[in-house]
Structure 1
Amino acid sequence: MNNRYLTLLAILSLVSLSACTPTRVGDQVALNSPATWQHAPNTQTTETADLKTWWQGFNDPLLNELIDKALAANHDLKIATARVREANSMVIVAEAALYPSLDFSLSGGREKRIDRIVGVPSGQGIKLITPTADAVSGGLAARWEIDVFGGRHLEAEAAAAQAQGSQEGLHAAQVGLLAQVATNYLELRGVQQRIGILQNNIALQRERLRTLQVFLKAGLANEADLARQQTLLQGTEATLPGMTNAEQNLIHRLGVLLGEPPESLGNRLAVVSPLPKQAPAIPNLLPADLLAQRPDLRLAQTEVSAAAASLGSARADLYPKIVLSASGGLGAIAVGGFPSLADSIYALGSGLSAPIFNAGRIRAQITAADARLEQVAANYEKTFLLALEDVENAFVAHRSANDSLGKLTEAEASAEKAYRLVDTLYSRGAGNYLAVLDAQRSKLAVSDERAKAETAVGVAMVSLYRAFGGGWTVDSSVSGIDNESIVSRDKQ
């Protein structure tokens, strides 16, 4: 009896040791995060930017509708969602190895073999026969590998980290999708606005050509003036097909992003609409906030956690493994000519295995796992630097686009003023009609540049929100990411 208690106590002690996971490896990476942004605007806004639904700051109902449809039907999001389901299922597979397995078996059959000859008495002496045997057995079998050194636990942790990484991959796909839809929509409206300006410019140049033809007949112009105007008109007309092509390409891209055929939005988006006059507020976040908000950084962190757990699991292979097994059931056998036999059967056992010689396989696996951890740790550091670069570049692009838009808006006002002055002189008989057309054409050229700058401002704002990881919110209940993991990785 005492031996049984001692055995039970030993098993419970081994189970408790399995929770210690002595082969665990630290998964923290040292990151050098700057305190502030170098190119952020000097004037800090008190308005709080909504990172989750930032596109609503443009106050464009059609853009909101397009994004809602994209979130519901985009194929990249569907693929990413399926990957999350797959990874979550693999977590269950990995965690199942921590528990005992219980299997039911039932077998039966009849056999007659030449090597089983039996002698039976008969009237003529001993008669040799090959009897037919009927056997049936069934029962339950249990097996449990006690995870003393935490290898199985770490495998489950690696699977859980990979599942979290797939979730962050879904977030990253969503962030990219929102930025693509908004960027293509703004560029489409900008191109349509420029097409309208170009068509007005072509109409003006045709009017100027007609005027020069009239002047030529009246002896007030020469052939060279006419040829120059024809060349200018033809060059301007040549740019129209390219811009029309860009418009159609953007419409097609938006259709695919919404999970629809490319031409599905043709009729609706062909209706010209101005660029949104409003824009979201600039996010007021610090560089360290990227660790929590950007999905690619969160994904890189999960890769570090998974690699660290895999390294610990590989180290656990150096230590012994203990397996407990038990089986029991009923069995029956009947041999022709003899009474049948039925009885209960059972087996209890335990086993221990430890590596002694494997030609360096386990050590090589540990080295490979450690190298993998170094790779993903370096990738995490690199991803953080790229994220900082992404935000700084977005700040610079937004500021440059705003500066250009301001200057071009002033230039457009000056061109409008010049046109009105020339038109007034012409109406009073102190100027000529060609000067009026030239002033109006100059104004349209400036308006085209202003439209490009206005588009660039909106696209830069979209890029800024994409750089900050806007388009989703952090759910603390499933996060599992330490946003202040600024400590050195344990190399032991």
Structure 2
Amino acid sequence: MSGPSPKILLPLSALILLAGCAAVGPDYSPPAAQLPASFGTTPAGLGPGAVEVEWWRGFDEPALTRLVQQALAANHDIAIAAARLDEAKAVLRENRQDFLPRGGPALGYEAVRRSEVETPPGQQREIETYRGAVDASWEIDLFGRVRRSVEAAQAQVGSREALLRGVQASIAAAVAATWFELRGIEAEQAVVDDISRNQRESLEMVDRMLSAGSAHEFDRLRAEALLRNVEAVAPGLEQRRAAASNALAILLGQAPQTFRPPVSTPMGETLAVRTIRVGDPVGLLSRRSDIAAAERNLAAQTAGIGIETAGLYPEVQVRGSIGLVAGNLDALGDAGATSSFLGPVIRWSLLDRGRVRARIAASEARTREALIVYDQTLLRALQETDDAFKGYGAAGQTLELRLLESAANREAANLARVRFMEGEGVYLDVLEAERSDFTSRRALTIARTRQRLAIVGIYKALGGGWEICSQADRACGTADATTQLTTAQEIAARP
């Protein structure tokens, strides 16, 4: 067969030129972020400046730094998020292939036996056909369906990347929080052990005084009751310690049965914290992964409107084939066996316009929802940040008061023992003072833990910590460590 005629090539060339026209549907532009100029009044210890990337180093605990690094490299949630990002990238590559022709080599054999009625006079009833050709089809993206599909896939990649960064930041914060909870429980256990030892000594003292006739059985029973009350706290603390250790093991991607947390030094009376730099609300756009993910999802939904709108217009494809067709294998090499065709195919589902418009309306509704979710995500980020700041201020004030309370109760317990030994007081005063000492010392350890957790909460609310995974020499799960400028940073850089 001869090649395509000019009657086909001319309109085909015009269609190819038209493929460069603008895609149907709305063009996406990032929404204007309604953010305040500053975080307002913040507690003492918080100030402006760039948020620290490896913020966990500020606690000056090498064990914590090692745990965070191990979790970023081995945590399963990070690996899952990274796999989902790889999936989105693969989908994007697939969508980009729609710009290219489809098809390939095709080999065929057909044997037909016609009835006598179907066979024209002088022709054979049995016909064999051998075909070897290259078939191809190409959709001319006249109205931008393919382009919008690629836009949506690109946006989904950005969303998955942001979600991966969010998981990395959350895991770093979870490791730090679990570590401080574990250390806080161990500090409570140390208090229980110390108080139990003092109570045993007090009970032994009362037993000696009872034997000497200078104490009453009532005093011995009260001393024993207080000892048992302190000892009864130990099993619950051990259960909490085991649960925290197991949670830490899961964060590190290890089996709880074989995991042993690193040995740590006791927490000091106070935590020397440098000024925590918190930046400004605009900086949340470049750090908070949930904001970046919501923005990218909005972009994907906007592109979806164009995909559905393209259904109102004709779909234009160019199909072609070139090859050999013959009645037997030997004839395939003959000059007359060459066969080819080229021509456009236009499909226009005019009867489906109602269905298409319904899909467009649904896509527009999803886009409005995505915009509302974006705005809501911004507000929640501001809320979480403000809550974290207020929690940090309250934790610091509580710790100061608990320090004073514990010091006073400890001194009162010592004085009560001395007075009782000198015969100036009753043993009930000793019991009450020791009970108050035990309660205040436990409350002090809890206050120390909450101060540290409050700092972790600030960095979690600010969205910091994932940036370490974008460094080329750091491997975080299965994430690509040499990514380009993140989508969130691109958004923040836009005017």
Q: Normalising by structure 1, what TM-score?
A: 0.86
Aligned residue number for residue 219 of structure 2:
225
2:81 counterpart letter in structure 1: A
Say whether residues 1:69 and 2:39 are aligned partners: no
CA contact 1:394–1:464 (8 Å) conserved in 2: yes
Quick one: which of 25, 30, 36 aligns to 1:23?
Answer: 25
Deviation at residue 328 of structure 1 after TM alignment: 1.1
CA contact 1:328–1:345 (8 Å) conserved in 2: yes
Aligned residue number for residue 39 of structure 2:
37
Say whether residues 1:462 and 2:456 are aligned partners: yes
Could you list the per-position Cα deviations for residues 258-284 of structure 1 after superposition, in whole angstroms to 9, with x for gaps in the alignment?
111012223x44x45323745464232
CA distance 1:49–1:436, change in 2 (3 Å)? farther
2:64 counterpart letter in structure 1: L
2:347 counterpart letter in structure 1: S
Deviation at residue 42 of structure 1 after TM alignment: 5.0
Deviation at residue 13 of structure 1 after TM alignment: 2.9
Deviation at residue 49 of structure 1 after TM alignment: 4.0
Deviation at residue 403 of structure 1 after TM alignment: 0.5
2:15 counterpart letter in structure 1: I
Tell me the distance in 2 between the aligned counterparts of 1:280 and 1:326. Answer: 71
CA contact 1:184–1:253 (8 Å) conserved in 2: yes
Aligned residue number for residue 210 of structure 2:
216
RMSD between aligned alpha carbons?
3.2
Q: Normalising by structure 2, what TM-score?
A: 0.85
Say whether residues 1:330 and 2:332 are aligned partners: no
SS in 2 for 1:13: helix
SS in 2 for 1:327: strand
Say whether residues 1:402 and 2:400 are aligned partners: no
Deviation at residue 414 of structure 1 after TM alignment: 3.5
Deviates more, 1:101-110 or 1:366-375: 101-110
CA distance 1:155–1:119, change in 2 (3 Å)? closer
1:26 counterpart letter in structure 2: Y
Deviates more, 1:405-414 or 1:140-149: 405-414
CA contact 1:192–1:272 (8 Å) conserved in 2: no
CA distance 1:409–1:217, change in 2 (3 Å)? same
Aligned residue number for residue 491 of structure 2:
482
Aligned residue number for residue 92 of structure 2:
91
CA distance 1:290–1:478, change in 2 (3 Å)? closer
Aligned residue number for residue 108 of structure 1:
109
CA distance 1:294–1:46, change in 2 (3 Å)? closer
Deviates more, 1:320-329 or 1:274-283: 274-283
Could you list the per-position Cα deviations for residues 66-108 of structure 1 after superposition, in whole angstroms to 9, with x for gaps in the alignment?
1111111111111111111111000011111122224211112
Tell me the distance in 2 between the aligned counterparts of 1:341 and 1:151. Answer: 41
Say whether residues 1:447 and 2:448 are aligned partners: no
SS in 1 for 2:218: helix
1:446 counterpart letter in structure 2: S
CA distance 1:12–1:350, change in 2 (3 Å)? closer
Structure 2 spans left out of the alignment, 5+ residues: 471-482
CA distance 1:421–1:213, change in 2 (3 Å)? closer
Aligned residue number for residue 177 of structure 1:
171
Could you list the per-position Cα deviations for residues 223-255 of structure 1 after superposition, in whole angstroms to 9, with x for gaps in the alignment?
333332232222221111000111111111111
SS in 2 for 1:142: strand
2:66 counterpart letter in structure 1: E
Quick one: which of 265, 275, 280 aligns to 1:273?
Answer: 265
Tell me the distance in 1 between the aligned counterparts of 2:77 and 2:374. Answer: 24
Aligned residue number for residue 81 of structure 1:
82
Aligned residue number for residue 358 of structure 2:
364
Tell me the distance in 1 between the aligned counterparts of 2:235 and 2:329. Answer: 93
CA contact 1:137–1:330 (8 Å) conserved in 2: yes
2:38 counterpart letter in structure 1: T
Deviation at residue 38 of structure 1 after TM alignment: 3.7
Deviation at residue 41 of structure 1 after TM alignment: 2.5
Tell me the distance in 1 between the aligned counterparts of 2:457 and 2:195. Answer: 32
CA contact 2:110–2:128 (8 Å) conserved in 1: yes
1:404 counterpart letter in structure 2: T
Tell me the distance in 2 between the aligned counterparts of 1:62 and 1:310. Answer: 48
Structure 1 spans left out of the alignment, 5+ residues: 121-127, 487-492
Could you list the per-position Cα deviations for residues 168-221 of structure 1 after superposition, in whole angstroms to 9, with x for gaps in the alignment?
111111111111111010011111011011111112122222222333333333
CA contact 2:151–2:303 (8 Å) conserved in 1: yes
Aligned residue number for residue 368 of structure 2:
374
Tell me the distance in 2 between the aligned counterparts of 1:397 and 1:137. Answer: 77
